[in-house]
Amino acid sequence: MKNKIKLVNDLLVKKYGIPLRSKVPPKPIDLLIATILSQNTNDKNSFKAFQNLRNDYADWNSVANISTIKIEKLIKIAGLGKQKSKSIKQFLVTLRKEKGYISLDYLTNMDNGEVIKELTKYSGIGVKTASCVLLFSMRRNVCPVDTHVHRTTNRIGIVKTNSPDKTFTLLNKNLPNNIAHSFHTNLIRLGREICKSTKPKCLICPLVKVCQYEFKNLNSNSNYKENNFLLLDSIK
């Protein structure tokens, strides 16, 4: 599996390049709340919701002091307002009660498994959110699994699982060093642009020659496959 992950990553980097990342990583607490807001919406709306919270209140301690209803109004643009506002409020209040302050800097000395266990104990925070903190804020070699990563890795044949959490476990047990950011980010781009949930564009996919899904869903006739590859090469 590790060799196939590396091959897929190399092909995606050849297609999309190495994704940019911020020179200064966001604080874990900021990244966690931003990830909650990003669920089931687009980046533009989740960023606006995050800005609404930060522009109106000086820090997360101030946000913890306002009502869930007020939080819901501020993040309305990101959708799922009731669910997200409840998760954010409960998380901030519980963290402050347990630690005496609102910060996740204490996670620094924990290993990856400990961080995931620590964060997922809070209501509304799952493995994906916790792993985003690890990758984007703590710069660990951990690949979060959203719907795009789950769908593409199963279609490609890297894993065969029925849930994102199971995909996460298998991927990260076999993930080569120092590729998590490019692998995760480029798979999401692939899932949005080419390997869509319906009508995937297999003929222009950079992974067509290593992907099991393409073979399963196109005519199995060898001449058809050969012609398909010739067409693909001509496109590229």
CA angle, 111 then 114 then 120, to 5°: 135
CB 159 within 8 A of CB 167: yes
The verdict on whether 128 is a catalytic residue reads yes
Which amino acid type is present at position 81? Answer: G
Query: Which residue out of 23, 76, 117, 128 is catalytically annotated?
Result: 128
* Separation of CA 115 from chain center: 16
Give the phi and the psi of residue 159 in degrees, each rounded to 5: -135, 165
Tokens read off for 56: 């109106």
Burial label, 98 (beta-carbon count in 10 A; 0-12, 13-18, 19+): exposed
Show which residues are catalytic: 128
